[in-house]
Chains A and B, each alone.
Chain A
Amino acid sequence: MKIQETSPRLDEHLKVPAMFGSGRGRVVTILLMALLLILPLIAWYAGNKFYLDFSTRIVCLAIAAVSLNLILGFGGMVSFGHAAFVGIGAYAVGIPAYHGYESAWLHFPLAIGSASLFALFTGAISLRTKGVYFIMITMAFAQMAFYFFLSLEEYGGDDGMTLWSRSDFGIINISDGLTFFLLCYGVLALCVYLVFRIVHSRFGMVLRGCNSNEARMKALGYNTYAYRLTAYVISGAMCGLAGALIANLQDYITADTMTWTRSGELMFMVILGGAGSLFGPVFGAGAFLLIEEILSAYTIYWALPFGILLILSVLFVKGGVNGLIQRGWRR
């Protein structure tokens, strides 16, 4: 089905640039992604472990942001509860580890599986609603998950639980910071590529069609609900994977990962980077953590300039960091 030929306006909306963008934007994108890989390695060889850990955090949160961007940026579904998937993924590592099962081949499938199940169940209900109701019901489900894990006394309750050793892959040892960083970077690259393939597939075309004009997609005979739900589950699964990585990164799991402010931060990363662009969320996560790190080094009141920045970026920067990279400063 070639939807593009039916309407020039729709065609404009459905156009997605090549993987890395084009022209100058392509150069900058590739450069930034290369820097994200190379700078921490240089710092590590120079004996500075902090930057490696910091970059791993960027990469892990970038995976979560990329997953949110799939439904928010491309699918137009504003999920305000994505932190729940991060938390579920984290507990899928923590709970088996507490009982002595440390194999990563159990942890990661469990994280992806339980996050997808949660997404399937909550998505099936949430997607019946629209607009601000959708924003709020996804938040409500995340709060339910938050209170659920908060009440699990056996697994730490409000104190959280410590992960005594990282997931055991057998073939590689992720207790080593460098190996873990490379693994996370690999997963991120894979996720971005996956989103690229999804967005360009027939499925992705329909998904973006639902975003720009749902009535038309329905008239064309598509079951838009099913397409959206599928995208929601894929996004949840990817975010669960990010959660499993984050648990391993922090060696510590707490229900606080699921509060609504965390969901808001994930949303901000996507918007800051540029919703509906492939690498935008990665840049967004990077910019978010960098700004937070720099500001908090100067003042304990870092939330003040951070909040101002947030408002200014919403008011004035359309398309986020990625928009600036692709278009330059022109508006």
Chain B
Amino acid sequence: MSTLFLIQLLNGLQLGVLLFLLAAGLTLVFGIMDFVNLAHGSLYMLGAFVCASLTFLTGSFVWGVLLAIPIIAVIGYFFEVLIVRHLYESNHLDHVLATFGIILIADTLVQLSWGPEGIAIPLPGYLSGQVEIFPSIIFPTFRLVIISSGLLIAAGLYWLITYTRLGMLIRAGASNRTMVSALGVDISTLFAGVFALGAVLAGVAGMLIASITEATIGMGNDIIITAFVVIIVGGIGSMKGAFIAAILIGIIDTLGRSFLKDILELFIASGSAETAGPALSSMLIYIIMAVVLAVRPQGLFPPKVR
């Protein structure tokens, strides 16, 4: 039980880290540009597919990732310049609809280019094994790689936002973008850059997960909703909130799926726990979100100035 618990805890941490990579871009784009981007999941999917192709082309997963990152950045940049930029003046409803349209387009384009089947990304030998992290606890190496690279990226983002000039502009843009632009900052380049950064983060998440599951059409459409739950719970626009909420939701979701049935069996008849368990564990993160919003309508860590 305790071994299984630890392993599930690590799995939860891995999901949380991936969620953070997605949520970071979402919350940046929302915090600074006030833009709701449902199509963020499409960048996640594109990351996975582009990386898969490049991995097969170069024969190395590491090269696949390294080459896919600039490609996703460019895609994100043009996405912002061609479509998103024209929507900043509209309301959230228009954002939701237009990016919904982009999801349809992206899914179909991927189907046209890569076919309807999913693609698994092969891992090099040194990444596909398992390691014994504690005595009698064996965990796949690559999942550890995901966790550590995710935490590294989180630390890098923290440094970027807290200590660099770009980060200062991002924070300033999030609290008052009119003032930032009045101070002579080229706001449209800043926006495009931030958008591309968010795209890369989402793309990396897709590349990492596609080696465990596989790159499939519409893979972003489910997880993007979870990522939205993360940024809503964390407080939209807050990087700290996104990180804490992502880890929390990743762990709660994973643990819920593995243990909720057993916990329920302690209280109710085993038969009803059998049916209620899976239902409740799928609903768990939405229940958390509803409770958080009912108690704190602005999320757990709302940014100080809006």
Q: Which residues of A contact B (CB under 8 A)?
A: 72, 78, 80, 125-126, 128-133, 135-137, 139-141, 143-144, 147-148, 150-153, 260-261, 264, 267-268, 271, 301, 303-304, 306-311, 314-315
Q: A151-B279, A261-B221, A314-B90 are in contact. List 10 more A-B contacts (CB 8 A).
A: A80-B96, A130-B297, A132-B36, A133-B236, A151-B278, A260-B225, A264-B97, A308-B105, A309-B101, A311-B98
B interface residue count range (under 10 / 10 to 19 / 20 to 34 / 35 or more):
35 or more
Residues of B within 8 A of A314 (CB): 87, 90, 94, 97-98, 101
| Contact, CB under 8 Å: A304 / B105 | yes
Judged by a CB distance under 8 angstroms, whether B282 is at the interface is yes
| Contact, CB under 8 Å: B86 / A315 | yes
| Contact, CB under 8 Å: A125 / B100 | no
Closest to B282 in A: A147
Contact with A along B118-136 (1 / 0, CB 8 A): 0000000000000000000
A147 to B98, CA, bound (A): 26
Judged by a CB distance under 8 angstroms, whether B212 is at the interface is no
Residues of B within 8 A of A307 (CB): 100-105, 108
Judged by a CB distance under 8 angstroms, whether B244 is at the interface is no
Residues of A within 8 A of B109 (CB): 304
CB distance from B165 to the nearest CB of A (A): 29
- The B contact surface, by secondary structure, is helix
| Contact, CB under 8 Å: B93 / A310 | no
Residues of B within 8 A of A78 (CB): 92-93, 96
| Contact, CB under 8 Å: B297 / A128 | yes
| Contact, CB under 8 Å: A135 / B36 | yes
A129 to B103, CA, bound (A): 27
Q: A151-B275, A315-B98 are in contact. Are A304 and B92 (CB under 8 A)?
A: no
Interface centre among A301, A309, A314 (most CB of B within 10 A): A314
Residues of A within 8 A of B275 (CB): 151-153
Judged by a CB distance under 8 angstroms, whether B228 is at the interface is yes
Judged by a CB distance under 8 angstroms, whether B290 is at the interface is yes
* Other-chain residue from A131, A137, A303 in contact with B92 (beta carbon distance below 8 A): A131
| Contact, CB under 8 Å: B93 / A303 | no
Judged by a CB distance under 8 angstroms, whether B269 is at the interface is no
| Contact, CB under 8 Å: A301 / B100 | no
| Contact, CB under 8 Å: B286 / A301 | no
| Contact, CB under 8 Å: B225 / A139 | yes
CB distance from B17 to the nearest CB of A (A): 22
* Other-chain residue from B103, B221, B286 in contact with A141 (beta carbon distance below 8 A): B286
| Contact, CB under 8 Å: B93 / A267 | yes
| Contact, CB under 8 Å: A268 / B97 | yes
| Contact, CB under 8 Å: A148 / B279 | yes
| Contact, CB under 8 Å: B293 / A125 | yes
| Contact, CB under 8 Å: B294 / A303 | no
Q: A78-B93, A80-B96, A147-B282 are in contact. Are A304 and B229 (CB under 8 A)?
A: no
Closest to A153 in B: B275
| Contact, CB under 8 Å: A264 / B105 | no
Residues of B within 8 A of A315 (CB): 86-87, 98
| Contact, CB under 8 Å: A144 / B286 | yes
Judged by a CB distance under 8 angstroms, whether B138 is at the interface is no
* Other-chain residue from A137, A143, A304 in contact with B108 (beta carbon distance below 8 A): A304
CB distance from A136 to the nearest CB of B (A): 5
| Contact, CB under 8 Å: A128 / B298 | no
Query: 8 smallest A-B Cβ distances: which pairs?
Result: A310-B101, A151-B279, A307-B104, A147-B282, A307-B105, A304-B108, A307-B101, A140-B286
